[in-house]
Structure formats: C-alpha cells, structure tokens
Amino acid sequence: MNPFKQIISTSVICAMLVTGCGADGAKARAQTPEDTIHTALTALRELDMETFNACTNNKKGDKYLLFGDLLKDKAQAYLPLAEAMVSNLSWEINSIEETGDTAIANVTIHNRDFSNVIGDYIADMIRYVEEQHRIGADISLLIQNIIDEALHNPELLVPYLEACTEEFAADVTVNLSRVDGIWQIHLTDSLCETLLGYAGFDNFSEDIEPFIKAAEQFLNNNLKRWGVDLEKHAGQWFEQIGNTVNNFLH
C-alpha cells in the first residue's frame, strides 16, 4: 500500500473505531440468544454502549473492539460520525441453533454501504495535496496537517458517510455463549466490519479503486521530486497515531 494512503487510512479508521459514548458495567437482561441479539443491535443503533457492552465481549480489559468508550468531554465530537454509521442499521434473525451454553445464529444485517468512504476521502486529500503543491505549499507539513485532521476532526467524514445511498444485506454468523445465565455475543472482525457497513476496511468498489491507484501512482512519481521523504516520516506519524488512539482508549 502507498505510505500516504496507509497513514491516512489508519488515521481515519482509528478515529472511527474509538468513537462512542456511555459506560460499561450494565447488566444484560436478555434471557435468550434471540433477545440478546435484538438487545445488542438495538443498543448499537442507538449508541447505548452501556447495554451493547453488557451483551457482547466488546470490552477486553481496558480496550474495545468497537466504538471505544471515550471520555465525555471528547465523545461529543465523534457522535455525529457514529450516528451516521449506524442510523440505518437493521437485521433479521433467520435461525438459531442452541446447544447447552452456546448458540449459533444466522443473521441478515442491513446497512448503508460505506466501503468507499475512506477511498473518497483519500482521493480528495490527494487532490488537495496536488492543488497545494501548485501554489508552493510545504507538502511535508501539509501531509502532517492532513493526518492531524483525520485524527482530531472526525466530523469531516460525516458528509462522506451521509453521501452513501447504496444499501446492502449480508448474512453473518453470530456466536453466543451463556455465562451465569447471561447470553453474550462474541464479536469478530468480520461481524464488526459488517455492522459498520464496511466503512474503512480498504475494500473499495470498482468505481473508486482505479482512481485511488492512479492517485497513488501520481504520489509515487512526485513525492521525491517535491522533496518529501514520506518513508522517513511514516514511522513518526504512525507513532503519533498510536499514541493518540491509546489516549482515547484509556
């Protein structure tokens, strides 16, 4: 992957995954696997992370698989992003096989298809870099500012999410287990990706992929000529991204 694309993608995806509100510690009241699925997904759609965390393994230690629990003074900036990602979420439970304290459900997930959001955002940033270079901007500083914006101004992504009109339906397998009489969903990367409408997971559509590749080639051909050693700065920028995400999650 082109370093610029990788850095921007990582920044934006991190901003998405640390989005959220509420607290952990609620007691799940759902008494059956079916109830648990309905309760958890309704809570996710409503961004009731207290209930969602109680019905899933979302929280692992002091970290989260999906929509990390931000401090209240930080969370407000991320709420529009989270709301846009789950406002159209819906589902149907097709079947459930329960065996003792485990259950496997087949569920159809519906949401808007956000698979091009990151691609569209990166494409616009690359266009912006090219335009700014033409007027003599410091490209290295410009890229640093773009990364900072991706991390600290997540609301910039909301228009990209809202512009997505295509919807999808995907069948997923949901695994549950019962501990002390309480059913809990086991989240997986695949399930999380589907619930979020494939936002930010580098699976661009055929429409955007050719442009992204052309833009990457443009950057590859010009960064050295512009005097930007992206590889030299990449490690430092990734460390900054990691530290920022760490601060959000703790």
> Average pLDDT for consecutive 10-residue bins of the chain (250 residues)?
53 54 49 95 91 89 70 61 91 97 98 86 78 79 75 80 93 96 93 87 59 62 57 49 41
Structure tokens at 12: 């934006």
pLDDT of residue 248: 37
pLDDT of residue 238: 45
pLDDT of residue 50: 86
Residue positions counted in the chain: 250
Domain regions of the chain by residue span: 3-249
Burial class (CB in 10 A: 0-12, 13-18, 19+), 177: middle
pLDDT of residue 215: 60
* Rounded to 5°, angle at Cα 55 from 49 and 57: 90
- Provide the edge-to-edge strand list for the sheet that holds 182-186: 90-99, 102-112, 167-179, 182-186
The whole model's pTM is what?
0.73
pLDDT of residue 244: 45
Distance from C-alpha of 204 to C-alpha of 16, rounded to nearest angstrom: 17
